[in-house]
């Protein structure tokens, strides 16, 4: 006869070894009772040492999970242990965060064709706009700024009173809350200039005429220094340009306005050597837009040229392109790549051409 104890062990009992009949008993009653007692003790011992325990069936039947269903005691313990393990050991997953989450300075070179409009946007800091583009590109600028969530322009820097830099300024004054307006101390006999001052009167705004030595507050860790102009009299309108040197920890940018060789050489003559990672080439990169010695002082890794696509090939100047290529400066052009964004964490600069912050087409240089 085969039997199974609570431990799962199979016990073999040979009927012949314990056969009893009325006519002939192999064992006497005392021996028989002793044998039965020994077998009982053996079965109980097996159950005990196998770790089996006798439980109240009511305690095994199930425990409410709080939702009205019943789960066994073992399932409850297992699930509780699993929850504790997940709570204690589950790593924080930051993979869904914006790739540029640590970058707190964004510089947008907006594609306005011929002209200049540069959005400088530190995370949580004041917004600066260098140039406003022309009349024909004012809606491009307005839409771009609104898409970036801009409601206030803290600093509007009109680097020089040329139509392709101030032409869209009147529309900005009517479309946004504008704080300080910086300009050089020179005017221009042009309709765009008249439109700008009409908007300034309507908004009860007065421009602040600034020159070299002015510091613009861009928040912690970011400095914006005006390094030109120096004089109130130049022989070329472009040389009145406000030139700004922007620095964020180890990385730096220079914005040259419409400056030409005369002003750039004057900057060097004052002992200012604005080493920068990224340079905005003056104007539309015409032949006089970049003095070679100024380029050598800046030593940029990359250069941005803002211009409209040209069929005659006059712009950008072949000499300017040659000087940049000979110095292994990477050239970025709005007529070829559209809007250009540079992002920095103060350690490196990353670039995104014709894209939007947060998309996966950033690249390093």
Among 33, 53, 73, the domain boundary falls at 53
Q: Are 185 and 158 in contact (CB under 8 A)?
A: no
CA angle, 224 then 205 then 113, to 5°: 60
Q: Are residues 165 and 302 in the same domain?
A: yes
What's the pLDDT score for residue 37? 52
User: Which pTM was predicted?
Assistant: 0.72
Return the H-helix or E-strand segment holding 47.
Answer: helix 29-49
Q: Are 107 and 90 in contact (CB under 8 A)?
A: no
Q: Are residues 198 and 262 in the same domain?
A: yes
What are 194's two structure tokens? 């008249």
Instruction: Please confirm whether the linkage preceding 229 is cis (ω < 30° from 0).
Output: yes
Q: Are 133 and 112 in contact (CB under 8 A)?
A: yes
In a domain, 184, yes or no: yes
Tally the domains of the chain.
2
Give the CATH number for residue 125. 3.60.15.10
Spatial distance between the Cα atoms of 135 and 183, rounded to a whole number of angstroms:
18
CA 276 → CA 13, 170, 205, 218, distances in Å?
95, 32, 33, 18
List Cβ<8 Å contacts ≥24 apart for 198-207: 198/170, 199/169, 199/170, 199/173, 199/174, 200/173, 202/173, 202/174, 203/173, 203/174, 203/178, 205/173, 205/178, 205/181, 206/181, 207/158, 207/181, 207/182, 207/183
What's the pLDDT score for residue 8? 40
Q: Are residues 15 and 131 in the same domain?
A: no
What's the pLDDT score for residue 312? 64
Q: Are 346 and 250 in contact (CB under 8 A)?
A: yes
In a domain, 90, yes or no: no
What's the pLDDT score for residue 169? 98
Cα dihedral sign, 254-260-261-266: negative
DSSP 89-155: HPPP--TTS-TTTT--EEEEE---SSS--EEEEETTS--EEE----GGGHHHHHHHHHHTT--EEEE
Spatial distance between the Cα atoms of 261 and 257, rounded to a whole number of angstroms:
12
Phi, psi of 222, rounded to the nearest 5 degrees: -115, 125
Q: Are 362 and 100 in contact (CB under 8 A)?
A: yes
The beta-strand segments (E) located in 188-287 are 208-209, 215-217, 222-228, 243-248, 251-255, 278-280
Cα 229 versus chain centre, distance: 34
Q: Are residues 235 and 339 in the same domain?
A: yes
In a domain, 70, yes or no: no
Spatial distance between the Cα atoms of 350 and 135, rounded to a whole number of angstroms:
31
Among 37, 53, 69, the domain boundary falls at 53
Q: Are residues 116 and 32 in the same domain?
A: no
- Sites in the chain below the pLDDT cut of 70: 1-101, 311-313, 354-361, 363, 365
Q: What is the pLDDT of residues 93-115, one digit of tens each?
A: 333 334 456 899 999 999 999 89
Q: Are residues 143 and 28 in the same domain?
A: no
Among 53, 74, 94, the domain boundary falls at 53
Q: Are 364 and 350 in contact (CB under 8 A)?
A: yes
Q: Which domain holds residue 34?
A: 1-53
What are 185's two structure tokens? 């101390």
Of the candidates 103, 109, 121, the one whose C-alpha atom is nearest the C-alpha of residue 340 is 109
What's the pLDDT score for residue 283? 87
């Amino acid at each position: 006869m085969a039997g199974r104890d609570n431990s799962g062990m199979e016990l073999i009992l040979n009927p012949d070894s314990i056969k009893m009949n009325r006519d002939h008993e192999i064992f006497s009653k005392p021996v028989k009772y002793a044998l039965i007692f020994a077998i009982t003790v053996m079965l109980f011992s097996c159950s005990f040492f196998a770790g089996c325990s006798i439980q109240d069936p009511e305690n095994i039947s199930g425990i409410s999970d709080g939702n009205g269903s019943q789960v066994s005691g073992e399932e409850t313990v297992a699930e509780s242990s699993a929850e504790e393990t997940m709570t204690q050991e589950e790593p924080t997953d930051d993979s869904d965060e914006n790739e540029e989450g640590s970058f707190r300075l964004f510089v947008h070179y907006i594609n306005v064709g011929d002209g200049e409009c540069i959005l400088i946007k530190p995370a949580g800091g004041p917004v600066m706009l260098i140039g406003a583009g022309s009349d024909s590109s004012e809606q491009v600028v307005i839409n771009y700024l609104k898409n970036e969530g801009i409601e206030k322009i803290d600093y509007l820097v009109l680097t020089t009173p040329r139509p392709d830099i101030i032409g869209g300024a009147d529309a900005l004054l009517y479309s946004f809350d504008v704080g300080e307006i910086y300009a050089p101390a020179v005017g221009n006999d042009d309709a765009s200039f008249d439109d700008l001052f009409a908007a300034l009167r309507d908004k009860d705004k007065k421009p602040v005429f600034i020159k070299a030595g002015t510091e613009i507050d861009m928040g912690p860790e970011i400095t914006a220094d005006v390094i030109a102009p120096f004089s109130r009299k130049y022989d070329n309108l472009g040389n009145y340009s406000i030139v700004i040197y922007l620095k964020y920890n180890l990385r730096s940018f220079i914005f040259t306005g419409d400056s030409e060789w005369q002003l750039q050489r004057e900057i060097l003559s004052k002992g200012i050597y604005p080493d920068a990672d990224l340079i905005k080439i003056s104007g539309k990169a015409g032949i006089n837009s970049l003095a070679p010695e100024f380029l050598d002082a800046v030593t940029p890794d990359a250069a941005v040229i803002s211009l409209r696509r040209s069929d005659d090939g006059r712009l950008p100047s072949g000499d300017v392109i040659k000087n940049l290529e000979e110095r292994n400066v990477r050239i970025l052009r709005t007529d070829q790549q559209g809007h250009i964004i540079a992002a920095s964490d103060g350690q490196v600069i990353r670039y995104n051409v014709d894209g939007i912050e947060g998309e996966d087409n950033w690249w390093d240089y």
